[in-house]
Amino acid sequence: MRKRLLIFILVLIACLSQTLAQSHIQNLNNEWSFCSAGSEAWKPATVPGCIHTDLLKNGMIPDPLKANNEQEVEWVEQSDWTYRTFFSPDAKLMTYQNIYLFFEGVDTYADIYLNGVKLQHCDNMFRSWTIPCKSLLHYGENSLEVHFFSATRMAKTLYQKLATSLPYDERVMVRKAPYQFGWDWGPKQVTMGIWKNVSIVGWNTLQMQNVAFKQLHLDSASADLQFNTQLNSTYEGKLSLELWNDGTLVNSKEFAVSKGQSLLSLPYHLEKPERWWPNGMGNPHLYNFEIKCRIGSKVIDSVALRTGLRTIELVQTNDDAGQSFLFRVNGIPLFIKGSNIIPPDIFPSRISDQNYAVLVNTAKQSNMNMLRIWGGGFYLHDKFFDLCDESGIMIWQDFMFACAMYPGDSGFLSNVKEEVSQQIIRLRNHASLALWCGNNEIDEGWNNWGMQKQFGYSATDSVRIANDYQQLFLKLIPEVLHTLDPERPYHPSSPLNGWGRKESMTHGDSHYWGIWWGDEAFEVYNKKVPRFMSEYGFQGFPDSVTIEAFGISGDSIWNSPALKNHEKHPRGFELISHAMQRNYKEPTDFWEYARLSQTLQADAMRIAIEAQRRAKPYCMGTLYWQLNDCWPVISWSTSDYYGRWKPAQYLVKQLYQPCILSFVQKNDSLALYGISDSLSSIDATLNILVSSNLGKILWSQSTQIRLPASSSMVLTTLSLKKLQSSYDSTSTFIYASISNSEKIIASNKYFFCRPGNYKQPLARIYIKENPMIGNRRNFILSTDIPVFNLWIDCNKDELLFNENYLDLMPWANRSIFSTSITSPSAALNLHYLNQPR
Ligand code: BMA
């Protein structure tokens, strides 16, 4: 009796003090278990998580990423699963007038039960679910259950109901990460589970929702900002809204509100704002704003908002050549250097903050200023966008639709409408968010891939499917954007034109896949230069340690099923071999082949990136395919699933430097270009020489040059004919560098022959190790004769360097650092182009 009285008094006190108090959040991620639907064999589960990772942790399935286990675990996605937790609400929580369950993400088809009562049906992985639950909640133990239904089966059932089937498969029916249904770089793992946080929230009086930040005006002198919030209120009367900037109150305003929803806004004028600049252009300055809602002296709710001030425009204007596609940041046209990214794991719930940090850091270290989040994955976690804000990495965000036609019925559209609204609200305050894009390659697919013929659509079918496309990407999404994020540019589909059309080289953005899919020579990149290259690339094998993680067994690696399963492109091995035969001698040894494929990938990237940068300002951006992987695999990635950099990643870092040199052959002459993204002009000495493969300088020339700000220009032109008649084509090369009094700014080389034919004598390379600086090792590299594509690895030790895959000349030592924590003693291995054995 006394105990009850005590509880009553405590609750009463809590009630009185809660009437005007901030909300209360109780985390419900703990103590979950799972079982196969209908069974009672409960096993411990992790939330956020998914069925595959839970089964794996409980030793109930083999690792789906290894060998051919992908196929072996297929039964998991065909089954239904139940998740359950028991929790006792905090005494404080129970005193609130309004209480709801908040599921940040449920993958995908599920029913949610509280104390045995079904509260919510979920059908979209990309939505969060807010579920009022006060009437069902009680003191002491409550049960929360989530019943999952196989998304594979749901997709099939829904697909079968279609009057006309859609290209290419069932995945389009479900709002779930498309790549989990299998891709040409990823396994098929259609998982399910509670993939984001779960909590229970109590609130009284009012809640601020959907805080939006607008820049009404911004230049270097001043900024006019506006902070809008929706108010959900059970209170009627006066309140004040306050804006705090870095802990200082900068504005406040009184409002009289009534019960229900209202919209409040607060302006802020700022003198001499510090602007946010992309990587390579300046500091990505962020402001720490906070909006507080106060009644009398009490703060009822507050929302923190960290963001940067900048303008980003997408300029798509008609010109003599066609139509531009360029980003202007803070008024300055910016050449975009970046890549596409795919989800960093096949199971999104196990992507850690650290994984995102590695990804964004790789982009930053590689001198990138933009990443495109491709539309076949999922909308990445908040942490990723925070890191991009901090690192000056702009984001091109696709909505999650890729390479297929989607349904257009009202149920599907209203589900998508809620999905895109939530995602726009979640992401729109990020300084890094530069562009919304409707989808990946759907317009191109419909118009160029022969879908209509392949599926035998009648004229009526075609019109209906095309109409559904328009409803979604030309009406629904732009309308939602118009209401929720009107200032940000929207591009309905990437690319603007398919690569088979000539307009793809003159108008808008382009995905050029003639190299790779079309089996064309790398040199074709020199001709196929669009206004903005948003996809292109070539595969390379990952590091040997990653290949071993495929789970290869048996004597012959080539015949290992695990190897075959870890190349998902139907013609992958064949296309790599073709390119190898065109440029090098194809090795028979597997490991040599793997290494040479990396060289090949880097060669392709070099030719493409140099061509696109030379063509500035005709071409104003390059986003290669692809930065990362979602499992250990042979793919187009430049850094693999484990974050190991392939040679191409180090090369991209060099090619994306603000200033580079590039040789290009034009008929009988050889032009040397200087390309600069710097905002001021560069005065430097240009040294150009012909050297023998033993390092004997046969000819040289030195001149002063001025490279204007943000330019691409021919610095010098040499007669190829003359050079070719004077020097042996397989044992000499041209080398150019520009330097100022402090350092070499840029360098590059030109072979008179295919790189595979260059005669490389055996080099003596010296490595001198200096004392460690913190946990970084410092090496001085020198050589007796020129070597190219020098690759330094650390004998299976996890070692990343600030520079690697470099050309080392006998006349210039190089100092490099390790950038990862490593054992101080691990020995280095060296490889270089055409190394004699
Ligand atoms: C692009 C992408 C992906 C694909 C890649 C490589 O077109 O949009 O769909 O993985 O090509 O084939």
HSE-CB of 373 using CA atoms within 13 angstroms: 30
Ligand 1 atom with the shortest distance to the CA of 403: 9
For ligand 1, mutation pick of 168, 181, 403 (most atoms within 8 Å of CB):
403
CA 632 to centroid of ligand 1, rounded, Å: 17
Per-residue pLDDT of 312-338, as tens digits, reads: 999 999 999 999 999 999 999 999 999
Per-residue pLDDT of 400-417, as tens digits, reads: 999 999 999 999 999 999
pTM here is 0.96
Average pLDDT over residues 560-584: 97
CA 150 to centroid of ligand 1, rounded, Å: 26
CA 374 to centroid of ligand 1, rounded, Å: 9
CA-nearest residue for atom 8, ligand 1, is 440
- Please state, for a pLDDT cut of 90, what percent of the chain lies above it: 91
Q: For residue 369, give the nearest of 658, 710, 659 by alpha carbon.
A: 658
Least confident of 12-26, 274-288, 329-343, 677-691: 12-26
Q: Is the pLDDT of residue 603 over 80?
A: yes
CA-nearest residue for atom 12, ligand 1, is 184
Q: What is the C-alpha separation between 701 and 686, in angstroms, rounded?
A: 8
CA triplet 826, 832, 834: central angle to 5 degrees? 145
For 274-294, give one letter per residue: b (16+ CB within 10 A) or e: ebbbbbbbbebebbebbbbbb
Do 265 and 228 meet the contact criterion of CB atoms below 8 Å apart?
Answer: yes
Ligand 1 atom with the shortest distance to the CA of 511: 7
Ligand 1 atom with the shortest distance to the CA of 376: 9
Q: Phi first, then psi: give them for residue 835, nearest 5 degrees.
A: -60, 125
Ligand 1 atom with the shortest distance to the CA of 183: 10
Do 363 and 348 meet the contact criterion of CB atoms below 8 Å apart?
Answer: no
- Which helix (H) or strand (E) element contains residue 537? none
Quote the pLDDT of residue 16: 43
For ligand 1, mutation pick of 625, 631, 635 (most atoms within 8 Å of CB):
625
CA-nearest residue for atom 9, ligand 1, is 403
CA 38 to centroid of ligand 1, rounded, Å: 40
- pLDDT averaged over every residue in the chain: 95
CA-nearest residue for atom 6, ligand 1, is 184
Ligand 1 atom with the shortest distance to the CA of 517: 12
Quote the pLDDT of residue 12: 45
- Please state, for a pLDDT cut of 70, what percent of the chain lies above it: 96
Quote the pLDDT of residue 799: 66
CA-nearest residue for atom 1, ligand 1, is 535
Ligand 1 atom with the shortest distance to the CA of 441: 8
CA 343 to centroid of ligand 1, rounded, Å: 13
Q: Is the pLDDT of residue 739 over 70?
A: yes
Average pLDDT over residues 511-520: 98
Quote the pLDDT of residue 655: 98
Q: Got the DSSP string for 243-269? A: EEETTEEEEEEEEEE-SEEEEEEEEEE
CA triplet 167, 173, 177: central angle to 5 degrees? 100
Give me the sign of the Cα torsion angle 395, 651, 538, 315: positive
Quote the pLDDT of residue 11: 45
Residues in contact with ligand 1 (CB, 6 Å cut-off): 183-185, 376, 403, 440-441, 511, 535, 625
CA 33 to centroid of ligand 1, rounded, Å: 37
Do 429 and 212 meet the contact criterion of CB atoms below 8 Å apart?
Answer: yes
> Can you list the positions of beta strands (E) in 432-569?
433-437, 490-491, 509-511, 532-535
Ligand 1 atom with the shortest distance to the CA of 636: 6
CA 518 to centroid of ligand 1, rounded, Å: 13
For ligand 1, mutation pick of 188, 339, 342, 374 (most atoms within 8 Å of CB):
374
Q: What is the C-alpha separation between 685 and 698, in angstroms, rounded?
A: 19
Q: Is the pLDDT of residue 18 over 70?
A: no
The more confidently predicted of residues 667 and 565 is 565
Q: What is the C-alpha separation between 182 and 432, in angstroms, rounded?
A: 30
